[in-house]
Amino acid sequence: MKAGSEASKKNRIWEIDLIRFIAIVLMVTFHLVYDLNEFVGVNVEYEFGFWYYVGAISAILFIFISGISSGFSRSTFKRGLKVLGFGMLITIVTYFFDSSQYIRFGILHFLGVAMMLFPLLKKINNWLLLVIGVFAFIAGKYIETITLNTFLLLPFGFMYRGFASMDYYPIFPYIAYFILGILCYKLFYYKGKSLFGFNFNINLVQVVGKHSLIIYLLHQPMILSSIYLFGLIK
């Protein structure tokens, strides 16, 4: 058992775990700021400026790393279905928590769909894949200026009048960052080895990287519970 654990550690690519660790730290920090603003009344602006970029960078890093990591997965379609399922669970929970801005297509919905598309995207020629990524990014920036009268196209970035959500990551433009991760895998990580000639393994970073989905699912309930308990004690 110990030997298997050591082998697993050696097989992990330390810089990918490190980037994922940074993304998680940024994400938890941003959501703490968001919760303090929304539920405690602490006046911290998160819709633009410093805290906005903390949240945006966290999401982009997650999506980019997911594109790379999908190359190491035995069945990205099954994994994608699992992640999408968790996304739908979050939709149900947030609907009962706040029906005015519940999550309809958040980052887990997006990552689930992107992982399911990975087997198809991976087969595409690198140059064509790059073109698709650039097109997706530009299309997404154009689509976000359009408002429709239906919710059916929300996954693609078409919002409707009065739309509000606590978390929204549509396919356009965010698939561009996932595609960038796929290209990075195909060009640099297809051998499953670190790009650096040295090891920088840190146990905490590896553990957090390995259990990032669980951390994502549990961190918000833990933050909100802590805020609630602190309010009772206070």
Instruction: Kindly list the domain boundaries of the chain, sorted by start residue.
Output: 10-233
Q: What is the pLDDT of residues 119-147, one digit of tens each?
A: 999 999 999 999 999 999 999 999 999 99
Residue 4: the pLDDT is 42
Given a contact cutoff of 8 angstroms between Cβ atoms, the answer to whether 94 and 103 are in contact is yes
Tokens 């190491």 correspond to 72
**Would you call 145 helix, strand, or coil by DSSP?**
coil
Predicted pLDDT of residue 223: 86
Q: In 3-state terms, what secondary structure has residue 193? A: coil
Contact predicate 143/172, CB 8 Å: yes
Predicted confidence at residue 7, as pLDDT, reads: 40
- pLDDT for 221 equals 84
Residues in the chain where the model's pLDDT stays below 70: 1-11, 231-234
